[in-house]
Structure 1
């Protein structure tokens, strides 16, 4: 196997392009939940039948994990430009038509494009100070994600299709696509290393469980709020509390992520919020549950990804691929499983799914 040696820090142009791309990614991923609720209503189709429209990001991440080293040979900057161009086309298609074939094509372009951004970002931002730049990029992505359900809610309240909100992301990704191709830091000399299979597999499982819990809320939170009897516009606006909580949690998270009690506290907080979502019969209780759960979920993925990256003997390239594979697996499996449970026992009861996932995560997280 091959491990990359340290590289020089990227230029300001690289940072600027990555931040534009990450802003679009954050907005679009957060739009999946309201989009699913809205298009199922427009087409008068069961939500479970259309959940695949929101799973393309997960499929793209799995594909990125499998093909990433080969794709990145073209250059991370080239990959980022093509991804953003594809996202722009896909976002227009999703926003302007509820026709299933067009919506599906658009969601594939958006999902795979967002996955390609996630793949290219570490390569472009690596080098001295990479952690700080990645935190800024992810924070910007989370902040833009807060805006998506609010935009959906505003349009629906005004009597317009909420899916038009997806167009907000188009200028962001076009800014990255139209920028001259950037290049990340040059690779240093190559050093051979062996992948530690056991610790890497454990790291993958931890990432899967943390992301699975998160995307149960990302994809199904707005639908759960609608089940309390409120309109899509109101549900989308209230659903924005998840993005707010995630942004706050990830802002405060670095202060305690290295503490021994960090994971148990995050799991307990998420479980309390999940129980509120289950027990709530009115939108206020469910919204409060989503808000509490978001605060607990927020630090889990960064903690688990940090532990994966810290596995001795695991290169940056391999940790990125394993993390991408774990995230993609979770995004494919968890919303689909919750959708299946929705059809079998109802969405309220199905929302208990994160609790066993969190318990298993807690067990696997003992030790470093």
Structure 2
């Protein structure tokens, strides 16, 4: 490969950044996404062992898991203000201290003394750190994508999926080796701190793309401006895209295996395989997504994705033949792959409002992960899980209708 410095002008990247710095930034974000996936999945994979250690009921276990959701809500609501005040790099670095500390506290509380409410507080802290980091890393990734001038956000989210696979594998391995919850949590937390802080050092400030005002100075937006972003129709429509596609992804994560068992009569190992097929299809969709998005643009791809996910869901819900239902799962996974990352990219189009809009859109999207599981569970109790998934179909259609709001505003009409 030729030396970039000899063939490209210094102004190729903003603020005199070299290609090496931009690529290092990209690689750092990839690691950050993967670490977040590892942290979450490594804990969730040990849920049965945690329940047994604490000797709690299923309802009490549900309350414990809700601690992460509660912390996530607090993190999401405060993220835009923290990003405006401290910047994405400082926020991510802090999150890679807060979240691992929370995870370690929860693990130690489970193993030593069965301190239920201490574990609850630890998981709440973990949720705050993970949700705040989620907004910060999406913002930083979106700016890096803009500087690279090619779509990369779906690959960031694919690395989160890789991280969840690694985390689930670690959970299974530690379960097999009978490693204590505390030891696993401390090891994972240590890795997150060391690798996370190293990865954050590879990133750059998102303010590189800030647009100065008429005086040549960049004037940061105030808290009133950040709150006003919620009144912008484009924010809400992009939020609907992310909400619908996050619902499509989250419903599969929570209910697909059980829906395959109860709705299609397969055994539990086969149900797990069906879920694995969905995750694989979604990961493939995210890895191949950048090329498709760069070629056809956001709006056509999002509309096609919604159509694909809707078709897959219809097949899975209504076709009783297993292999055809599995084909539906593949379509469902492929169609769900690009909605969340593309929505994050669209939310960050305007550098002046990127932090506030990414935070708002992420908050709307996270409603799917927080509200979706109990809502589908309630509907499934009354109408069956397969028919409960029709709610997901409705939200996917809404996401497809709202796709026009994700049009790239940074490009000219002829671009």
Classify the TM-score, shorter chain: 0.7 to 0.9
State how 1:1-368 maps to structure 2 within 5 Å. Answer: 9=17, 17-30=28-41, 34=45, 45-46=57-58, 50=62, 53=65, 56=68, 60=72, 63-70=75-82, 72-93=84-105, 97=110, 100-122=116-138, 124=140, 126=143, 128-129=147-148, 134=153, 136-152=155-171, 158=176, 169-177=188-196, 179=198, 182=201, 184-185=204-205, 189-190=217-218, 197-224=232-259, 227=262, 230=267, 239-257=275-293, 258=296, 261-278=300-317, 289-310=328-349, 315-365=353-403, 368=407
**Within 2, Cα distance between the matches of 1:364 and 1:133?**
22
Indicate the SS of the match to 1:365.
helix
CA distance in 1, matches of 2:140, 2:158: 17
Greater CA deviation, 35-44 or 139-148? 35-44
Number of corresponding residues: 360
Q: Is the 8 A contact 2:95 2:132 kept in 1?
A: yes
- Structure 1 unaligned residues grouped into runs of 5+: 1-5
Could you tell me which runs of 5 or more consecutive residues in structure 2 were left unpaired when the two chains were aligned: 1-13, 211-216, 408-415
C-alpha change, 1:303 and 1:82, in structure 2 (3 Å) is closer
Counterpart Cα distance in 2 of 1:319 and 1:112 = 19
Matched residues in 1 for 2:358 and 2:15: separation?
A: 16
Structure showing greater radius of gyration is 2
**Structure 1 length-normalised TM:** 0.75
Q: Which residue of 1 aligns with 2:11?
A: none
- Residue 139 of structure 1 deviates from its aligned partner by 3.3
Asked whether the equivalents of residues 245 and 291 of structure 1 are also in contact (C-alpha less than 8 Å), the reply is yes
Deviations 1:224-269 (A, max 9, x none): 45655745x7755653333322210011222333356533432232
8 Å Cα contact 1:217-1:290 kept in structure 2: no
Change over 3 Å in CA distance of 1:86–1:320 after alignment to 2: same
For the Cα contact (< 8 Å) 2:256–2:275, is it kept in 1? Answer: yes
> CA RMSD of the aligned region, Å?
4.3
- Judge conservation of contact 2:29–2:199 (CA < 8 Å) in 1: no
CA 1:241–1:168 in structure 2 vs 1: closer, same or farther (change >3 Å)?
Answer: farther
Could you tell me whether the CA contact under 8 Å between 2:238 and 2:402 is conserved in 1?
Answer: no
